[in-house]
Structure 1
Amino acid sequence: MGAYTLVVCVTVAVEGEGPGLRRVLRGGVVNMAGAVVGAGLNLALVVAITRAFSQETAGLLFSATSVFLIAAAVANLGVSDGLVYFVARMRVFGRPGGVPRLLRLATGPAVTVACALAVLLLVFADPLAEALGDGEVLDGGEADVYLRLLAVFLPFAVLTETALAATRAHHDMAGTVLVDKVGRPLAQLALVGAIAVTGSAGLLALAWAGPYLPAAVLAWFWLGGILRRAASGEDGREAAGGAAPEPVGASGKAAEGAARSAGAGTDGTGEAGGTGGAGGTPSATGSEERVDRWTFWSFALPRAVAGAAQLGVQRGGVVIVALLGGLTGAAVFTAATRIMVVGQFGTQAVLYAAQPRFAEQLATDDHAGVRGLYQAGAAWLVCLTWPLYLSALVFAPEVMLLFGPDYAAGAAALAVVCAGQLLAAALGMSDLILSMTGRTGLNLLNNVLSLAANVLVCVLLVPAAGATGAAVALVAAMLVRKLLPLWQLRTRVVLHPFSRPVAVAAANALVWFGALPLSAEAVLGGGPTTLAVAVAAGSAGHLAAVWSLRGPLGLSLRR
């Protein structure tokens, strides 16, 4: 190391009890506040569409927007995960000055690809529309018009996610909440409501995609403020709460990991052994210039394919059902999976807050901290999402009637999806940790296998079972994506979801949203009234129990 001083930004965290965990929890609280509002807005958006328009029109819109979201995931090129990964490592080693250069390196190619895909979507709108909607006119709106309107806003979706990922890397969660979780869906709901009044279904796609433009402007404005504060030395006061790590003389396990990396010899990218982010620890003396194009894109591009595959699992089922079972089946399947999407808002609240912290812990070989945060995070996910999924599982017929009487056939699909999501929450964030180790190749393989499982099961079951078959395929794909990382990480960070916090959280949820609703249904019978009473009583009991158990659940901000 010569005359250079080893300086590392260290946030102390012992088994998930230190200020690092508190920062993640505060960020999760900020995200959760937005997630609750955002989930309600997105559910209201789907209900408004299914209630105001025919099943064919709703199925067409859901299929077209699924194509849009998959294209946006492809065009993103893995930039979101790449920015969180490298910006977090720059900050943990006291080298945040390279963030603007990294943004320029990442954003240009992503926007270029988004524009290219938008052009392709414009050119091939007619054959794709024929496949989705058989070229028919639905309530005054043709399928090709939907696709062309969506194509115009594809670059803005990519710009929005790129900017918000950079803000999350700085532990600022408020931008994502206000712009993406609340502002955009609120604008979508208002525009769809206005169109429902006029009855002009041809403008539905514009109402859904139009808010991406102002969202992109606001997201970059927000990021600009964060970068200006970072340049003036005020980067430590993140909106998510908690003090930022200050550069201190390296000591303990974190310093040893950084020193090993500094002395191991690098290939000019800041990654040991020339892996380009494949799991090495960055040099503590490395400058921001060491994150060159090869280093960044060797990490990001596998994540791009993996992210597209993951979204293909979530949204591809809608398209497959439309192709194999018609637009009516696609509308039913979309409605049946809306509860899953609502739950994912809560999941993302934890994931977005934990992602930069995992990157920091893995950069300094803090494996005990990773295990503690993984198990605490799984408990948080169970506390947040199991009440929703258990309630929807018990009262599946009543929930599906929310979308209209024509959607009652989706109750079985809803039950299958909810059962799968209960297991997914308990398995925790293993796939995220695998990505933050830099092993994006394995993450890519897992997501491709997950997508393959989804497509195979869909092809086998959708023609006979419709939306229920697609729901089984969704659960099968989820199991592949969640279980493989636990096995693949066994030589780096031994992880398992079986812990006291997870057991306490699961038992609490089962009492208040499993046993109590089933008892209420047995006594009062089914129906919306029973659902409302059971959810109200269960929510009160669950919140009181979580508060009293906040210590074992790792939910205390003061510890």
Structure 2
Amino acid sequence: MAPLTPAGETERPARPVPTGRAGSEEGGAVHQDSEPVPGNSGPVSEGPGPVHKDSGPVPGDPGPVPADPGQPISGNGDRQVSGDRVAGLAGAGAGAVAQFLTVVLVVRGTDPKTAGAFFAATTLCLLAATVLRLDAGNGLVHVLAGSRTSGRPRAVGHLRAATVPVASLSLAVGAVAFLTVSDPALRVLAVALPAVTCSGVVVSATRGFGTMWPTLLLTGVLQPVGQLVLVAAVVATSGDGAARSGGDGGVGGDGGLVPSLVAAWVLPYPVVLSLAWLWLRRRLPRTSPRPPGTASELWRHTWPRSLAAGVQAVFQRLDVVIVASLAGPAEAAVYTAATRFKVVGQLAGQGLAQAAQPRLVRALAGGDLARARELYRSSTRWLVALTWPIWLGYAASAPWLLGAVFGEEYASGAPVALVLAATMLLATACGAADVALTAAGHTGAGLAYLVAAVTTTVLLDLLLVPCLGSLGAALGWAGGMAVKNLLPLWHVHRRYGLHPFGPRHDRDVRAPGARRVRRPRRAETPASRGARQARWARWARWARWARWTR
């Protein structure tokens, strides 16, 4: 049966939804190998940085793939999916707690300049690592899950096709960085860059075998907890004199404490990479010929999303690097501390987006606009109910909370907290507009809006950070977030009638791919004509009175 408009008119049916390809109707899952870091704004996964509400989909992401494609998920499959979802949320929660404690440990155990230099250096490292991954991790999840029915040798080919280019590129970039920079902390990160980059790709490959447990144990528990323990050991052995000496403001200042902190922070990555690789080796043959066509199959699916993933990484992590460069490491530390409390809201938004996305895809693909609107509104209402008390409470208690948790030096971050809380109220009120946009297949528009958000953030940061410091960075990020949320919201409302609140916005919409059908104008009755004439008469009397009193 052809889909119906809200008014009941039959329209031309929408074209079928392609799956498993970039730019398809079914897009936009929350990436599980994204890695928030010191000063980061992406999904909760690793690193002790601020987490912003921008964990939405990378445009073109085809979303989660069932463990056994082509087979319906029911019975035990439902329990497996539910268990994987619980495992993912548990890993994200454990990692978030460890990241928060790492931030508290660094800012309480060192001076603001040292903390800011540490946050800026590690943010720059993971910004480079995310771009160098080329989104190969999510591409592996898709192709490995799809090739499970065709045998393990093909999975070996896919794994080689993904890891060899990423490892080669990260080795080249790390070598160039090591030879061109003189800062000791950045040179440590340059040496570790290949391990940081490849660990995310290899851990993502384990999810292609239909299990979340390696991701939970390695990137959800082992990596953040290991970073917390090692950083705590460095801070404890540095002594109060070295930790509070004040340093010279450079990244490698404070008597070598920053390079030691950075080395402790990167040490778990080679361990995670080795364990994930061993897990894969146990499930794959040790030697096998590389099947033809595996590389083209993988990168044909992945390359359109690589650019979007890079832009998303820049939007998530560039703010702290700009603050450290233009306003100094101390301001970067204040900015990181002031934005750290959004982890809980980030987790809530990520969970709701993962739950609503597949249903939105099905509703929009089937032309069921009423169902799509109801899903969008219900997810927005839950998001507002869960997160607005957090943002309002944080805005009210920010001056006391920052000083009590991080120290009196960070109480000056209260204006940053107020700006970010207000921005998060606006962002959550818009709902998962970026998820709905990508689910409807408008991946090009999603990428364009993301580029516009990054451009807005960078321009505002360059204008405001030199004079306002961390507050300028917060205002720049707020401008980028407004663009990132309001433009997709306008798009899905104009095209499909989706709106986060109220039933009065459901008029004159169409299903995806269908011609627009305009409703005829309602015939005017004597009563409506009289009411219209009375309104015009009142307006004329008011205009005459305004001219007389002027």
TM over 0.5: yes
- How far, CA to CA, are the matches of 1:68 and 1:373 in structure 2? 38
Which residue pairs with 1:510 in the alignment?
A: none
> For residues 328 and 192 of structure 1, do their structure 2 counterparts lie closer, same or farther at Cα, with a shift above 3 Å needed?
same
Establish whether residue 481 from structure 1 lines up as the match of residue 484 from structure 2: yes
Which residue pairs with 1:148 in the alignment?
A: 187
> For this pair of structures, how many residues does the alignment match?
410
- How far, CA to CA, are the matches of 1:83 and 1:345 in structure 2? 24
- How far, CA to CA, are the matches of 1:76 and 1:35 in structure 2? 21
TM-superposition CA deviations, 1:364-388 (whole Å, max 9, x none): 9567698777666556655654454
> For residues 146 and 39 of structure 1, do their structure 2 counterparts lie closer, same or farther at Cα, with a shift above 3 Å needed?
same
Structure 2 stretches lacking a partner, 5+ long: 1-67, 239-255, 286-290, 504-550
* Among 155, 158, 169, the residue aligned to 1:102: 158
Structure 1 residue 433: Cα displacement: 5.7
- How far, CA to CA, are the matches of 2:421 and 2:434 in structure 1? 20
Which residue pairs with 2:201 in the alignment?
A: 162
Structure 1 residue 79: Cα displacement: 1.3
After TM superposition, the structure 1 = structure 2 runs for residues 110-509 of structure 1, keeping only pairs within 5 Å, are 110-126=166-182, 144-199=183-238, 201=257, 202-223=259-280, 293-294=295-296, 296-341=298-343, 343-348=345-350, 365=365, 378=380, 381-382=383-384, 385-401=387-403, 402-432=405-435, 441-486=444-489, 495-498=498-501
The alignment yields a C-alpha RMSD, in angstroms, of: 3.9
Structure 1 residue 398: Cα displacement: 2.1
- How far, CA to CA, are the matches of 1:80 and 1:168 in structure 2? 9
> For residues 372 and 418 of structure 1, do their structure 2 counterparts lie closer, same or farther at Cα, with a shift above 3 Å needed?
same
The answer to whether the 8 A contact 2:223-2:272 is kept is yes
- Bigger drift between 457-466 and 369-378 goes to 369-378
TM-superposition CA deviations, 1:193-233 (whole Å, max 9, x none): 111111161301001111111111223344556779xxxxx
The answer to whether the 8 A contact 2:69-2:145 is kept is no
TM-superposition CA deviations, 1:56-105 (whole Å, max 9, x none): 111111111111011011111121332344455667xx668654433322
> For residues 172 and 57 of structure 1, do their structure 2 counterparts lie closer, same or farther at Cα, with a shift above 3 Å needed?
same
Establish whether residue 31 from structure 1 lines up as the match of residue 83 from structure 2: no
- Bigger drift between 195-204 and 94-103 goes to 94-103
Question: Which structure is higher in helix share?
Answer: 1
Look up the equivalent residue of 1:332 and give its one-letter code: V
Structure 1 residue 293: Cα displacement: 4.3
Structure 1 stretches lacking a partner, 5+ long: 1-6, 127-143, 229-288, 501-559
Look up the equivalent residue of 1:59 and give its one-letter code: G
The answer to whether the 8 A contact 1:306-1:443 is kept is no
Structure 1 residue 443: Cα displacement: 4.0
The answer to whether the 8 A contact 2:119-2:333 is kept is yes
- How far, CA to CA, are the matches of 2:390 and 2:279 in structure 1? 32
> For residues 403 and 81 of structure 1, do their structure 2 counterparts lie closer, same or farther at Cα, with a shift above 3 Å needed?
same
Structure 1 residue 330: Cα displacement: 1.0
Which residue pairs with 1:64 in the alignment?
A: 121
> For residues 489 and 155 of structure 1, do their structure 2 counterparts lie closer, same or farther at Cα, with a shift above 3 Å needed?
farther
Look up the equivalent residue of 1:114 and give its one-letter code: S
The answer to whether the 8 A contact 2:398-2:417 is kept is yes
The answer to whether the 8 A contact 1:31-1:349 is kept is no
Look up the equivalent residue of 2:213 and give its one-letter code: A
Look up the equivalent residue of 1:193 and give its one-letter code: A
Structure 1 residue 123: Cα displacement: 2.1
The answer to whether the 8 A contact 1:82-1:296 is kept is yes
Structure 1 residue 322: Cα displacement: 1.4
The answer to whether the 8 A contact 1:340-1:417 is kept is no
The answer to whether the 8 A contact 1:336-1:413 is kept is yes
- How far, CA to CA, are the matches of 2:194 and 2:166 in structure 1? 8
Of structures 1 and 2, the larger Rg is shown by 2
The answer to whether the 8 A contact 1:80-1:161 is kept is yes
> For residues 306 and 203 of structure 1, do their structure 2 counterparts lie closer, same or farther at Cα, with a shift above 3 Å needed?
same
> For residues 195 and 29 of structure 1, do their structure 2 counterparts lie closer, same or farther at Cα, with a shift above 3 Å needed?
same
> For residues 112 and 427 of structure 1, do their structure 2 counterparts lie closer, same or farther at Cα, with a shift above 3 Å needed?
farther
Which residue pairs with 1:136 in the alignment?
A: none
Which residue pairs with 1:81 in the alignment?
A: 138
- Give secondary structure in 2 for the equivalent of 1:9: coil
- How far, CA to CA, are the matches of 1:207 and 1:38 in structure 2? 17
TM-superposition CA deviations, 1:250-285 (whole Å, max 9, x none): xxxxxxxxxxxxxxxxxxxxxxxxxxxxxxxxxxxx
- Bigger drift between 145-154 and 370-379 goes to 370-379
Which residue pairs with 2:97 in the alignment?
A: 40
- How far, CA to CA, are the matches of 1:173 and 1:394 in structure 2? 38
- How far, CA to CA, are the matches of 1:307 and 1:428 in structure 2? 21
- How far, CA to CA, are the matches of 1:292 and 1:374 in structure 2? 38
- How far, CA to CA, are the matches of 1:125 and 1:403 in structure 2? 31
* Among 47, 53, 56, the residue aligned to 2:110: 53
Q: Percent identity?
A: 38
- How far, CA to CA, are the matches of 2:80 and 2:373 in structure 1? 16
- How far, CA to CA, are the matches of 1:78 and 1:423 in structure 2? 29
Structure 1 residue 469: Cα displacement: 1.8
Structure 1 residue 187: Cα displacement: 0.7
The answer to whether the 8 A contact 1:59-1:331 is kept is yes
Structure 1 residue 303: Cα displacement: 2.6
> For residues 390 and 498 of structure 1, do their structure 2 counterparts lie closer, same or farther at Cα, with a shift above 3 Å needed?
same
